[in-house]
Structure 1
Amino acid sequence: MTKILLTGVSGAMGCMLQQVIAAIPDCEVVAGFDQKENDALAFPVYTDLANCQEKVDVIIDFSHFKAFPGIFAYAKANKLPIVIATTGLSQEDLSAIDAGSKEIPIFKTANMSLGINLLAKALMEMAGKLESGFDIEIIEKHHNKKIDAPSGTALLLADAVNDGLAQKKDYTFGRHGRDCKRTENEMGIHAIRGGTIAGEHTVIFAGNDEIIEVKHTALSKKVFAEGAVKAALYLVDKKPGLYDMSMVVSD
């Protein structure tokens, strides 16, 4: 039985993860962490991880980026594998993750969807073949509660495109003004927020008289929850290091 500590347990993703994990026979949430206590759940929810006494095999973190440093410190202090799905992390956080991967197993990806990560691999190959004569733009759409922009997934896809290019592109985040003519060395990334959109990402290759669009649409948050659980099961018993969804896809 894999015992999971779920951070951000009362959020939308935390609630979805509880449903997904409950349906898996060899997994269970034994403790949660959130800003407020929640006595309605079948497991204890802590507002201070120092009080957590449950035996845990792995942490799945879908918390707020402000809570991440404390959660990560707890993982390192207790030598616990951690799946990091929190977005909006600072450069300081990312540097801490790189350093911490020498001490514990860390699973880090901008998107827990298997489909997105397969798409990233495909985009890398497409970009190299379409580099000459095509402009590349990315449009991402999310619900009106999302805090950070552009999405981590949009940046993941942009990085995948750049990895396939001989001449790397500079990122342009939206455009506004009277002198915004596109330059050859840029890749535009645009964020749309509204309603309950779970996540939609479109990569556009615009050439002379032809347009190629590659799109991924998440119809619910369940795809991300299922991916996070796959990542957690993959990470248990791994050696210290930095892991990502491309490794799960490859396996």
Structure 2
Amino acid sequence: MKIAIVGYGKMGKLIKKTIEESKDMECVGVASPEESKDLTDLPSDFDAIIDFSHPDNLSGILSYVEKNPKAVVIATTGFTEEQIRSIEALSQKVPVVYTANFSLGVTVFQQVLKQITPILRDTFDIEIIEKHHRLKLDAPSGTAKMLLSAIDENNEREKVYGREGNSKRKEEIGIHSIRGGTIVGEHTVLFTGDDEVFEITHQAHSKQIFANGAVVAAKFAVKQEPGLYDMNDVLFGKR
């Protein structure tokens, strides 16, 4: 299986290394817009694209895949609503795996939340806390939004992003972002009830977990029909 990578920052380098260490995968090259090198500069005989770069690079990927259909794995975050609609449109033509977090553990985290939230939501307050390194641009993180969606699938509760001032808690979910140091990523969901607290935390200790997940997703994508998939589909086969 042959892979083209878009982006050659820390994650691009790590994905390339992961592919090179694999026995059944090959990296045909890296499209790095920062170095004025795009997908058209790479050999065309590859199976999938892994994008772990910047939202500004999406248009180049869309343009290339329109003319050269390939499976696409999109691990970039921070897209606008318009860009997300473009990704959805692309998935009508080719298989696309798009999610904010490719960690296998976070994917299981979502499934756990979907099971326990209906049991606890009427008697427990719910808060989400996410922590990342000082250089992360978007807040709250894409992963926090994924966890929020798993908790409140029908968007029934008010969302409070941080707190300030004087007001009583309502039927709401609090989302809090912390930025500092070199924290790779930590996400906690708190269920706080009367006289008890139930807490679930996922910690990323290195970016390798995201590279591993993206490679697993690429192997999945090349076998699929056109459609929009996420890591829940990759691991659990659910749509």
| 1:137-186 deviation per Cα after TM superposition (whole angstroms, max 9, x unaligned) | 000011111111111100000000113x7x8222221122x2343212x1
Which residue among 33, 36, 44 is the counterpart of 1:35?
A: 33
Cα distance between partner residues in 2 of 1:116 and 1:153 = 8
Alignment equivalent of 1:207, drawn from 193, 213, 216: 193
Which residue in the other structure is 1:51 paired with? 41
- Name the residue aligned to 1:4: 3
Aligned residue in 1 for 2:86: 96
Task: Tell me if the contact between 1:76 and 1:104 (Cα under 8 Å) persists in the aligned partners.
Answer: no
Question: Match for 1:230: what amino acid?
Answer: V
**Pairing 1:132-171 to 2, within 5 Å after superposition:** 132-163=122-153, 168-171=156-159
- Contact kept? 2:28, 2:43, Cα under 8 Å: no
TM value normalised by structure 1:
0.90
Q: What per-residue deviation string (whole Å, max 9, x for no partner) do you get for residues 190-240 of structure 1? A: 111111111100000011111111000011000000000000011113211
User: Percent same amino acid at aligned positions?
Assistant: 45
**Other structure's SS at 1:232 match:** helix
Q: Is the 8 A contact 2:187 2:202 kept in 1?
A: yes
62, 67, 71: which is aligned to 2:57? 67
For residue 22 of structure 2, what is the aligned residue in structure 1? 24
SS at match of 1:144: coil
In the alignment, structure 1 residue 125 sits paired with structure 2 residue 112: no
State the 1:74 CA deviation. Answer: 1.5
Change (3 A) 1:242 1:118: same
Residue 40 of structure 1 aligns with which residue?
A: none
Q: Could you tell me whether the CA contact under 8 Å between 1:137 and 1:187 is conserved in 2? A: yes
What's the C-alpha RMSD, in Å, of the aligned pairs? 1.5
CA distance in 1, matches of 2:44, 2:63: 17
My pick for the range that moved more, 237-246 or 48-57, is 48-57
How far apart, in 2, do the equivalents of 1:3 and 1:79 lie?
14
**In 1, distance between residues paired with 2:176 and 2:65?**
34
Q: Which residue is equivalent to 1:182?
A: 169
In 2, Cα distance between equivalents of 1:180 and 1:29:
54
Q: Deviations over 1:28-71 (max 9, x none)?
A: 1111111333xxxxxxxx52333334322100000111112222
Distance 2:180 2:149 in 1: 25
Cross-structure match for 1:248:
234
- Distance in 2 between residues matched to 1:79 and 1:187, nearest whole Å: 41
Aligned to 1:42: none
Cα drift, residue 114 of structure 1 = 0.8
1:223 maps to what in 2? 209
